[in-house]
A and B are shown apart, each in its own frame.
Chain A
């Protein structure tokens, strides 16, 4: 006996819109972790990412009627989460604490094999990332943490490749400047 194919996003969205609210749990399971790392890097901590993803999922449910291409729910949900992350960064409601988080890592992984140096470099970069604008930070995270190509980032964010590259190159310079200043 073959296993049943999982329902497509489009089928699940249509079922929810038709009144089967419990089907929304399928989307929650499918998307709760997919963009967690992106949100954590955008907001500075896993806690902030969890709040943002929870809010974004609820907002997606509230606005599901506006999702006019249910088969592309993933991209639509990403935009909701992205708006939430940008809004929070701009409001500055939550100050990220990369150092505190990183210090715990140091005590557990410290050793003679260069771990301390790696840890210091990692926390310095984490600190430096917080001086970037949300737009610069986003392109940096999507390319170098999530491993997306410029074309994919352009498709997800509705921006041209040329302006993404410009943002990224400014981000490189700002990061270098910041890292040199605190060396």
Chain B
């Protein structure tokens, strides 16, 4: 014989109904069910203080020696100092005709950059790479005609979805950006309109182990290009 709770009693356990909502004949069963829940052990569980030390020892070992960690931290501080915004005042003396010439040159450059690229409308393009000093320039392309804003986040920018925006190529719905990446494998995804994560349809993807997919780009060493 199997014992099952009445569906209405289950709703009492779920907190959707109270005892008073039940017909009289079901109340004893519901009271029994509630006694069962009341017996649950809800005492907080305290872990040993040594856990923090054990975890951090392992973490340091895996990240390299403590000295390496300190050096990395120093590098971070230097980078923060270099990258922090500062106020800089620049005064220029220019002749009006020179401004016109500069504007014409800038327009020419923009025109050249905005020329239709090899990516046909609607077709995904795999990230393309070109060599740069110490790192490799990789071009990312996404066709997203309804997007108002497209960013790229990945292991190269600590998954910061505000850090790297793609630029729209005219009104074609194609968004692109070119990043200088270190050789190695990088995982990434596009972020459309600040909230929708989109994998790159032109790149392989891997499961991140938690039910989501990340795109992958393998950047060869600059000499291999």
Tell me whether A115 is interfacial, beta carbon within 8 Å: no
* Residue A62 interfacial (CB < 8 Å): yes
Which residues on B sit within 8 Å (CB–CB) of A67?
A: 159
Q: Which residues of A contact B41 (CB under 8 A)?
A: 122, 126, 145
Inter-chain contacts of B73 with A (CB < 8 A)? 19-22
Q: Is the CB of B47 within 8 A of A36?
A: yes
Q: Known contacts A28-B55, A165-B14; is A176 also within 8 Å of B36 by CB?
A: yes
Alpha-carbon separation in the docked complex, A118 to B190 (Å): 55
Q: Is A17 an interface residue (CB 8 A)?
A: yes
Residue of A nearest to B75 (CB): A19
Give min CB distance, B61 to chain A, whole Å: 10
Distance of A57 from chain B, by nearest CB (Å)? 5
Partner of A54, one of B51, B63, B79: B51
A49 to B47 Cα, complex, angstroms? 8
Which of A63, A70, A175 has a CB less than 8 Å from the CB of B158?
A70
Q: Is A112 an interface residue (CB 8 A)?
A: no
Contacts A21-B72, A28-B52, A172-B33 given; does A46 touch B47 at CB 8 Å: yes
Q: Does B155 contact A (CB under 8 A)?
A: yes
Interface of B is mostly: mixed
Contact of A66 among B2, B33, B161, B187 (CB under 8 A): B187
Q: How near does chain B come to A90, taking the closest CB pair, in angstroms?
A: 16
The size bracket of the interface on A is: 35 or more
Docked Cα-Cα span, A57 to B54, in Å, equals 10
Chain A residue, CB-CB nearest to B69: A21
Stretch at the interface among B3-11, B84-92, B122-130: B3-11
Rounded to whole Å, the gap between the CB of B24 and the closest CB of chain A is 20
**Complex A-B, nearest 10 residue pairs according to Cβ-Cβ distance, in ascending order:** A19-B72, A121-B39, A68-B159, A36-B45, A21-B63, A173-B4, A40-B45, A21-B69, A17-B158, A180-B3
Pairs across A and B, CB under 8 Å, 29 listed? A17-B158, A21-B63, A21-B72, A25-B56, A32-B51, A33-B45, A33-B47, A36-B46, A37-B44, A37-B45, A54-B55, A58-B55, A61-B59, A61-B63, A62-B62, A66-B155, A66-B208, A68-B212, A70-B158, A79-B211, A118-B39, A122-B41, A125-B39, A145-B41, A158-B211, A172-B13, A173-B2, A177-B2, A177-B3
Which B residues are within 8 Å of any A CB, using their own CB? Answer: 2-5, 7, 10, 13-14, 33, 35-37, 39-48, 51-52, 54-56, 58-60, 62-63, 69, 72-73, 75-76, 79, 153-155, 158-161, 187, 189, 197, 208-212, 214
Apart from A25-B56, A172-B13, what are 7 other A-B pairs with CB-CB below 8 Å?
Answer: A19-B75, A20-B73, A33-B44, A62-B62, A68-B208, A145-B42, A172-B10
